[in-house]
Amino acid sequence: MGFQRTDRDDGLQQSQIVLRNGREILLQAFNWESHKHDWWRNLDRKVADMAQSGITSAWLPPATHSFSPEGYLPQNLYSLNSSYGSESLLKTLLYKMQQYNIRPMADIVVNHRVGTTRGHGGKYNRYDGVPLSWDERAVTSCTGGRGNRSTGDNFHGVPNIDHTQDFVRKDIIGWLKWLRYTVGFQDFRFDFARGYSAKYVKEYIEGAKPVFCVGEYWDSCNYNGTSLEYNQDSHRQRIINWIDATGQLSTAFDFTTKGILQEAVKGQLWRLRDAQGKPPGVIGWWPSRAVTFLDNHDTGSTQGHWPFPSNHVMEGYAYILTHPGIPSIFYDHFYDWGSIMHDQIAKLIHIRKKQDIHSRSSIRIIEAKANLYAAIIGEKLCMKIGSGSWCPTGPEWKLAAHGHQYAVWHK
């Protein structure tokens, strides 16, 4: 008898095809305030526009029951009634997204979990009365449990999960499979990936077989006092080491590119070429695993921990939407900052698709000085950002898009 593939074998194959293909466009489909705005219903009304704009995967906020309304202090992982809406509204949204060929991405928060009852040491480090009713062994010893020490950094103020425990990993994989095959999520985003070893992320991906994964490995860029250093190689190397340790199964957010790009657009565009003449972020070294972005619910939105300068956002998108890597659009920029910005971003997505730019496209940086950056991507696309003037030589180049301090041409 021939070997018959199950759905789940196909799942791992599908993920490899998506990574190899490198033609994803992600949307972070929420911000820090979304829980106040009947969110699943709101997104339902935008699915058709997302599809028309070229979005292939939309990252949704944590859909499970949480102690905090934003979703990042989970407790009952099997309850899908959250401040974003009811389970039935969520399932309606996921079904609609699949009809429009947009993959729903689940926000996977498994570094920490709020306890339900007091246990060892009088801490809330037990999970009685809810599914996955773990005892104190499931909590790391460094955050008040009876488990082993954490395999990563601590997320303070809440019990951190001990991923070294076999029973914990078995339960997490069971939950991820439920999200993937019963609920209908297809992609995963791993929250606070610094908190536990990447080898467990590898195990979780192999267990649940999502189509596409991205990890949030966020640590500080290299600063000299308050000024960003030119060389961020050690920063991008740490992200690359994390990706490698997932068995190369996950991508990671390119925090290096974000940190450099948001300084560069303030009249320091020389930063956008490293000493080897390549892009200075993760996209310069491993573009097929780098998810580029300008802001998220932590760096931007109402938290504003590390925001991209608002008057340079379109230059930022002109960079990430023409360059190698896997670009991600932030909800606020696409839906809250007005129709002009929405249409400019959608136009850049359209140009990227039409010129077949992908995560591994070649890049030649032509100029990188204070007020001007210019590059040729692939064979048939070039761009510039900054106040300096530049245009490609030759009649074959046609202007495809332009706006405040950016322009894109194609052949």
Decide the pairing of beta strands 187-190 and 398-403: unpaired
Three-state DSSP at 57 gives strand
| 295 given a catalytic annotation | no
Q: What is the rounded CA–CA span in Å between residue 137 and residue 270?
A: 51
* Residues recorded for the chain: 411
Give the residue from 331, 287, 296 showing the smallest Cα distance to 216. Answer: 296
Query: CA 272 → CA 3, 216, 237, 258, 321, distances in Å?
Result: 50, 22, 17, 11, 15
Three-state DSSP at 283 gives helix
Based on the number of CB atoms within 10 Å of its own CB, is 66 exposed (0-12), middle (13-18) or buried (19 or more)? buried
Q: What is the rounded CA–CA span in Å between residue 102 and residue 87?
A: 19
Give the residue from 8, 3, 4 showing the smallest Cα distance to 211. Answer: 8
Q: Active site residue: 70, 162, 203, 216, which one?
A: 216
- What is the residue-wise DSSP string for 181-199? III---EEEETTGGGS-HH
The first and second tokens of residue 37, run together, are: 């705005």
Contact 400, 409 (CB under 8 A): yes
Contact 102, 56 (CB under 8 A): yes
CA dihedral 7, 180, 174, 92 (to 10 degrees): -130
Q: What is the rounded CA–CA span in Å between residue 76 and residue 209?
A: 23
Contact 160, 143 (CB under 8 A): yes
- Beta bridge partners, 177, equal none
Sequence letter at residue 27: L
Q: Active site residue: 191, 254, 295, 332, which one?
A: 191
| 263 given a catalytic annotation | no
Q: Give the residue numbers marked as catalytic.
A: 191, 216
